[in-house]
Amino acid sequence: MKDRLIMINAIQEFIGYLHNTKKTSKNTEVSYERDLRKMMKYFETQGIEKVSEITVTNVNSYMLYLEREKFASSTVSRSVASMRAFFQYLVKAKVINDSPAEHLKPPKVEKKTPETLSVAQMDLLLKQPSKETPKGTRDRAMLELLYATGIRVSELITLELDNVNMQMGYITCTEIGKERIIPFGNVAKKALKNYLNNSREALLGIASCDTLFINCSGKPMSRQGFWKVLKGYAKDARITMDITPHTLRHSFATHLIQNGADLKSVQEMLGHADISSTQVYVDTGVNKIRNVYAKAHPRG
């Protein structure tokens, strides 16, 4: 039986616990493991190999090391969260008696205002894909659906045919066992119908695939593939800002809030666990109004 006190074994057990018991996402597990392996490497340089040997002083020393190496506040904050969760698990599993990270406090992380496209820029971007080719029809449907629903690119490329209710106009997204239903409007519905009726079969060829959006080989669209598609159309639209798939998600939320949508509904559509994550879009709207006021008012 492996020694549960050896750090790498303890980390692997913790990641297994997250996956099997907490049902966390793959991204979450990768982040935790990356943070904890970085911590492990530091402690190994200090001659520490077992979790039972780690003290409060050692943990504080690691925090000073991260600060000295000028890691971003967001990175340090995430490392604190990873360590606290890791050591709490070890206490619960009776591997150690007390958590040396119990009283660690993360640094303050300044929330950046998300970059968004204006409605005019978004309209211009959505007009770029060709209506005449199977690829262009697919691309238009992807972009329209992404902007219409605000889903993550990972959710977009894993949508299956059964996740789309064309008659009622909504999609179903499932993440970490949680299901959410998001409506889409007539423009996205028209783009989707055109893709499904006139283009998907041409792209599919003789292949078989349940994924909604497929590439030119009849296989599921990849994250990198969609990123390349988006960058190309942004260039065609002469949009100079650095657009990512998340820019469309930010734009979706900001435009909804600016047009009177309530915060709770936007939170549910985005799938945010904490409403404070959605609050940033309200702040974006307020900042925009403040800037307009400052430029236009004689005493601004």
Task: Count the Cβ atoms, other than its own, within 10 Å of residue 64.
Answer: 9
**Residue 220, pLDDT above cutoff 60:** yes
Q: Tokens 């966390």 appear where?
A: 24
205 with 277, same domain?
Answer: yes
Rounded to the nearest angstrom, the gap between the alpha carbon of residue 49 and the centroid of all alpha carbons in its chain is 34
Instruction: Specify if 191 maps to a domain.
Output: yes
82 with 143, same domain?
Answer: no
The CATH number assigned to the domain holding 66 equals: 1.10.150.130
164 with 263, same domain?
Answer: yes
239 vs 1: CA distance, rounded Å? 58
List C-alpha distances in Å: 85 to 2, 14, 133. 22, 9, 50
pLDDT in tens, 3-18: 778 999 999 999 999 9
Instruction: Specify if 205 maps to a domain.
Output: yes
**What pLDDT score does 289 carry?**
46
The CATH number assigned to the domain holding 198 equals: 1.10.443.10
32 with 144, same domain?
Answer: no
156 with 53, same domain?
Answer: no
DSSP label at 98?
S
pLDDT in tens, 189-199: 999 999 999 99
Number of domains present in the structure of the chain:
2
pLDDT in tens, 46-60: 999 999 999 999 999
The parent domain of residue 223 ranges over 119-295
Final residue belonging to a domain, choices 57, 92, 127: 92
57 with 145, same domain?
Answer: no
Task: Count the Cβ atoms, other than its own, within 10 Å of residue 92.
Answer: 11
126 with 43, same domain?
Answer: no
pLDDT in tens, 94-137: 999 999 999 988 887 666 667 888 999 999 999 999 988 999 99
150 with 70, same domain?
Answer: no
138 with 241, same domain?
Answer: yes
Instruction: Specify if 45 maps to a domain.
Output: yes
209 with 290, same domain?
Answer: yes
